[in-house]
């Protein structure tokens, strides 16, 4: 049987309210790639918090109608209060080396984000000095 048919048979009707919610923060250049990969390899209800639809999608997130919310660093900065009002099971940060400067606004916003489990992904954790590494690890 073709793989795409097997995937469609495995899909279960989505629950009306997500039991756990995850936030993925990534650069805009890979945001839609994250969505495509999650659609391909998982059975999640995914929403993208970015652009002119972010306010409508934020309502869906607050109503727990998705399991994974994808956003950018910039949108996170703009919607920090709204996103902090939610209980995230985990926050995953792609390109975590963007929070290497302790004085940068993006670092302050990431440290202000409330969550218990934080996962940072990067291929270049150490670029210049150990202070940068500490800043990412301290997040």
Instruction: Name the CATH topology of 14-138.
Output: Rossmann fold (3.40.50)
Q: What is the pLDDT of residues 67-122, one digit of tens each?
A: 999 999 999 899 999 999 999 999 999 987 777 777 878 878 888 888 889 888 88
Mean pLDDT of 116-139: 76
- In the prediction, which pLDDT does 114 show? 87
Q: What are phi and psi of 44, to 5 degrees?
A: -115, 155
Would you call 137 helix, strand, or coil by DSSP? helix
Lowest mean pLDDT among 6-15, 31-40, 83-92, 103-112: 6-15
Query: Percentage of the chain with pLDDT > 70?
Result: 83
Cβ atoms of 21 and 61 within 8 Å: the answer is yes
| pTM metric for this prediction | 0.81
All structural domains of the chain with their residue ranges: 14-138
- In the prediction, which pLDDT does 100 show? 73
Locate the DSSP E strands across the chain. 22-25, 46-49, 68-71, 90-94, 118-121
Q: Is the pLDDT of residue 52 over 50?
A: yes
């Amino acid at each position: 049987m073709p793989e795409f048919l097997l995937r469609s048979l495995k899909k279960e009707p989505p629950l009306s309210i997500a039991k756990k919610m995850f936030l993925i923060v990534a650069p805009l250049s890979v945001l839609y790639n994250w969505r495509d990969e999650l659609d391909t390899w998982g059975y999640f209800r995914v929403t993208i918090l970015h652009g002119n639809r972010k306010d409508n999608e934020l309502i869906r997130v607050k109503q727990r109608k998705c399991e994974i919310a994808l956003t950018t660093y910039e949108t996170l900065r703009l919607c920090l209060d709204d996103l902090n009002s939610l209980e995230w099971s985990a926050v995953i940060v792609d390109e975590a080396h963007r929070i290497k400067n302790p004085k940068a606004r993006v670092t302050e916003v990431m440290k202000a984000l409330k969550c218990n489990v934080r996962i940072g992904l990067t291929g270049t954790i150490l670029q210049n000095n150990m202070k940068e590494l500490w800043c990412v690890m301290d997040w």
